Structure 1
Amino acid sequence: MIHMRNTAKMSRSLTGGMMIVMLLAVLMLPIAAGNAYESPSDIEANSTLAVSGLIYGDCNNDTNVDALDFALFKKYLMEPEQPYMEYMDLNIDRTVDSVDYAILKKFLLGGIASLPYVPDPVNPGVLLVGRFDTSDPAGPKFAWSTSAIKANFQGAGISVTLKSTGDNWFNVILDGRVLAPVNVPAGASSPVVLASGLTNGSHIIELVRRTEAWLGEVQFLGFNVSGGSLLAPPAPSARRIEFIGDSITCGYGNEGTSQYQSFTSKNENAYLAYGAMTARLLDADPVTVCWSGKGVVRNYGGDTSELMPALYQRILPYSAIPAWDTGKWTPQVAVINLGTNDFSVGIPDKAAFTAAYSAFAGKIRSQYPQAHIYCAMGPMLNGDNLTSARDFINTVVTQKNSAGDGKIHYIEFPMQDASNGYGEDWHPSVKTHELMANQLAAAIRKDLGW
């Protein structure tokens, strides 16, 4: 459902290909529209007049919504400290930002029938769990492991349309039952049947990303229910845990059958990694930010480009903009399992490692002042590397405890045991991840009373 505000009617003065040409051309030219506003300062000076008519999207106050408004909107966003303008708030969220800009573009190209564009809150919808870029009205984009899309529906079957830039895999959970995984290859955007032949009644579907961020972005283009419709979305859990890590946290190769196998996307299952398992044991929603091979001061092999603390800031890992707004989702627990890759080419300098690790843990603390932070190590290191990693991370935790932070903890997962098998490239097996989850969940229960 699309809402209309007041009696102001939207109009398009150009259509089809002419509009596309105009949109491109107007961005390259100064605005000149008779008595219409020509700059963001005009908007500010005449804000009372403009809002009184409240024609959403009419940035230049000429009673039309067209390509000239699109260009002026862009100028408005590029100039700092602009005042809030209600008629530019196209999704009515009390902010004027790139989301509103994208909505205006889609309206002008005919993809939205009217403005403002706000889905009715009582209508069907989905629950997104994880980091999603919602700036594209066509559908949210995501990349991090365990990102989940959940929906309640009534009908005989349900399909989903996803568009992927890489070879990604998803777990499908229907009414609490894990079904066969779904593969979404690069470039795919055709509907994929998730369930069919269902009994009459309500159902809950959950789509969870198994594969990690470097395999590319995915855009959710919607569910389609056969013989029924979506219902109100599931409620999020009141318990929230953020997991930050490398290949261990991603579940790299955990469904592989031999340590001598190389990585295959099909055998990476973040849903069965220790983080997601821990969350399910505690009835919590997980957000996972992980990338294989990444470290604190150096990555696997010694490379120092785009370390995990830098990637952590992002909604979509291949783009630094837009950055993730940590105020949108505040966990009670944050788990950092980083450092294994820093030791891949020997023991790093202690001062450099502890300084970088402390700074990153400090950033997490500044974002989540009340959260319990678990600084984890294991289960892949051994020998002198493990001894040093334990010492380095414990040094940071002890310093922060001494400074008065009693909610930061060290936890060490025992070295993986051959009797539990190995995943690809000597990574933890599903059984090892299960043991890690049991250990971590027990610690969280003890500290938080969950």
Structure 2
Amino acid sequence: MKTRKKSFHFIKQIISLCMSVSLLLMCALTATAADGNPNRPPSNEGTIQLEAEQAKLSGGVKVNTNHPGYTGSGFLDGYWNYGGTATFTVNVPAAGNYNVTARYGNAAFNPATVSLIVNGTKIKQTSLPMLANWDTWGIQTETVTLKAGVNKIAYKYDNGDTGNITLDHIRIYPTPPPAPIEAPQGDQLFKADEDFVKPIGRTVFYNDTLWLALSGSGAEFKFRGTKAQITIKGDQVASGLTDYARIGIYANGVRVVDDLLNQSQKTYTVFESATEQDVVIRIVKLSEAMRSTAGIQEIRVNSVDGIHPTQGLAHKIEIIGDSITTGYGVDDVSMMNWYSTAKQDVTKTYAYKTAAALQADHSIVAYSGHGIVSGYTGDGVKNTGLLVPNIYEIIARSAGRIDGNLDVNNSPWDFNKFVPDLIVINLGTNDYSYTKDDPVKQAEYRDAYVEFLKQVRSRNANAHLMCTLGIMGDDLYPMVEQAVAAYSNETGDTNISAMKFDVQLWEDGFGADWHPSEATHTKAANKLIANIKAVMGW
């Protein structure tokens, strides 16, 4: 009997112990699930977590343990060293979009920035908000496109970054698919890809959206129906306070929308009629690439047979220029005012007017402040940060990030997408702020111009090159003529010419910052049109 009592007592102790362990486990699990930790991203099926110490480290980045709260066996610091990099290797089962969440520390800058590099290409500069102190951890999520199989994801202190962060781990998981779009009865929805629209200028189709950066870039389509709506998507600049992309939308040649993209998304009704009509819709980015981009996210029509790209025109012209060509300040009422995307309108420039008058498809590659040997400089010191030759072969130079993700500054342009018959080059106004009347510096401009002509020719084998200058000053025009002659003598290429614009006149007025008025642009267009007809036989 004694033995049975002892056995029963022992069993009770075991049961009690098991219940205590179970209770502890339940409490732990409950605390884990409900602690509301903002530094823990939501659990996603297929999530891969890579501790920072698993990365390949270079440039001074190293493992440390002197701040609490890290996962794994440590975290990374050393990001105060320029070039410091942590490269993670991740294997994903399928190609597609993935969220990459970095757990980081930052008590130095608000925000701190580092470059996110995927498979050797810089995707974007990621911003990491400042935290309370170095013992606090935050998370920052970016969306990237990965290929099936092995991928390399790197965080690097690169050019233009602040660095000075710590990095604990990254998590990679598939981006949730977008919710399906349901259209009202009778409506049809389309994406702005080349099956449905004609791209205008340099554009990029990314994440089901046709993105526009450069002045005059856009899309055009036609349909027969009663209604059309366009949804335009903004980049990260749309959530800021200034430099919004300016968009123009035309229905049968009439501008029905002129707006600044100051929201992440806007939908415009661009045509509506009680009866079916034949309609051509054109969407144009009126402001330049430097400050912001915009995307055509969705086209909704009530149509007889959907939408169709308009036909390509008889000729194709590329115009390479600076702020004059972007329409800088053309809508401003005072020459004393400064830069604003709200006052840019490329359709009022000599470039756009020329292409329209000659019934030519256009591609405008123009950036304010840029030159060939020097960008604009106020102190005579050469500005090599604003050179068109350095960015001619990319989609665009812009502070805007497409979908907050794709960096067009590191995305090459496919020159097969637009093959021009004629290329007009109008560069030198900003160079003159460096050269002034110094013959040595002017010769430097001439020689750099020759090299740029070679670069343009290497990408456009058959186009006629027409070199122009003069609207805001013609002091460097003799160097343009010399560059054309030197290029021709050196290469044997005679498919090239030069033309001097007339300098703007006081009586024609000025736009912002002494830039040409629309009246001046119209005069310039008339001269250029006549010259093109004579040279090209159009």
Q: How would you bin the TM-score normalised by the shorter chain?
A: 0.7 to 0.9
Q: Is the radius of gyration larger for structure 1 or structure 2?
A: 2
**In the superposition, relative to structure 1, how do residues 25 and 100 fare at CA in structure 2: closer, same or farther (>3 Å)?**
closer
Q: What corresponds to 1:128 in structure 2?
A: 199
1:217 deviates by 1.6
TM-score normalised according to structure 1 size:
0.72
Flag the structure with higher strand content: 2
Contact 1:172–1:182, Cα closer than 8 Å, also in 2: no
1:298 deviates by 1.2
SS at match of 1:327: coil
Q: What corresponds to 1:431 in structure 2?
A: 519
Q: How far apart, in 2, do the equivalents of 1:106 and 1:176 lie?
A: 46
Letter paired with 1:152: K
| Count, aligned residues | 362
Flag the structure with higher helix content: 1
**In the superposition, relative to structure 1, how do residues 199 and 427 fare at CA in structure 2: closer, same or farther (>3 Å)?**
farther
Match 1:304 to one of 371, 380, 384: 384
TM-score normalised according to structure 2 size:
0.61
Contact 1:106–1:137, Cα closer than 8 Å, also in 2: no
Contact 1:124–1:231, Cα closer than 8 Å, also in 2: no
Letter paired with 1:304: T
**In the superposition, relative to structure 1, how do residues 251 and 121 fare at CA in structure 2: closer, same or farther (>3 Å)?**
closer
Q: What corresponds to 1:358 in structure 2?
A: 450
SS at match of 1:446: helix
Does residue 340 of structure 1 match 2:340?
Answer: no
Q: How far apart, in 2, do the equivalents of 1:439 and 1:101 lie?
A: 51
Does residue 145 of structure 1 match 2:218?
Answer: no
Q: What corresponds to 1:162 in structure 2?
A: 232
1:26 deviates by 8.8
Matches for 1:313-332 after TM superposition, within 5 Å: 313-318=393-398, 319-332=408-421
In structure 2, stretches of 5+ residues that fail to align are 1-41, 56-90, 99-117, 121-143, 149-171, 181-189, 238-243, 399-407
Q: What corresponds to 1:22 in structure 2?
A: 46
Letter paired with 1:126: V
**In the superposition, relative to structure 1, how do residues 157 and 326 fare at CA in structure 2: closer, same or farther (>3 Å)?**
same
Contact 2:92–2:147, Cα closer than 8 Å, also in 1: no
Deviation string 1:234-290 (CA, Å, 9 cap, x unpaired) is 122231111111000101111222222323322211011111110001100110111
Letter paired with 1:419: E
Q: What corresponds to 1:396 in structure 2?
A: 483
Q: What corresponds to 1:265 in structure 2?
A: 341
Q: How far apart, in 1, do the equivalents of 2:248 and 2:212 lie?
A: 15
Deviation string 1:10-48 (CA, Å, 9 cap, x unpaired) is xxxxxxx87x55265599999xxxxxxxxxxxxxxxxxx
Deviation string 1:146-167 (CA, Å, 9 cap, x unpaired) is 0021111233332211122341
**In the superposition, relative to structure 1, how do residues 122 and 441 fare at CA in structure 2: closer, same or farther (>3 Å)?**
closer
Contact 1:123–1:231, Cα closer than 8 Å, also in 2: no
Q: How far apart, in 1, do the equivalents of 2:463 and 2:208 lie?
A: 35
Match 2:310 to one of 224, 234, 244: 234
SS at match of 1:344: helix
Deviation string 1:143-201 (CA, Å, 9 cap, x unpaired) is 1000021111233332211122341212222112233523212x431312223346422
Q: How far apart, in 2, do the equivalents of 1:376 and 1:391 lie?
A: 11
Letter paired with 1:317: R
Does residue 368 of structure 1 match 2:463?
Answer: no
Letter paired with 1:242: E
**In the superposition, relative to structure 1, how do residues 407 and 27 fare at CA in structure 2: closer, same or farther (>3 Å)?**
farther
Contact 2:470–2:477, Cα closer than 8 Å, also in 1: no
**In the superposition, relative to structure 1, how do residues 164 and 120 fare at CA in structure 2: closer, same or farther (>3 Å)?**
closer
Matches for 1:1-400 after TM superposition, within 5 Å: 21-22=45-46, 24-25=48-49, 67-70=92-95, 101=147, 109-111=176-178, 125-134=196-205, 136-165=206-235, 166=237, 167-185=244-262, 187-197=263-273, 199-226=275-302, 230-301=306-377, 302=381, 303-318=383-398, 319-345=408-434, 346-347=436-437, 349-381=441-473, 386-387=474-475, 389-400=476-487
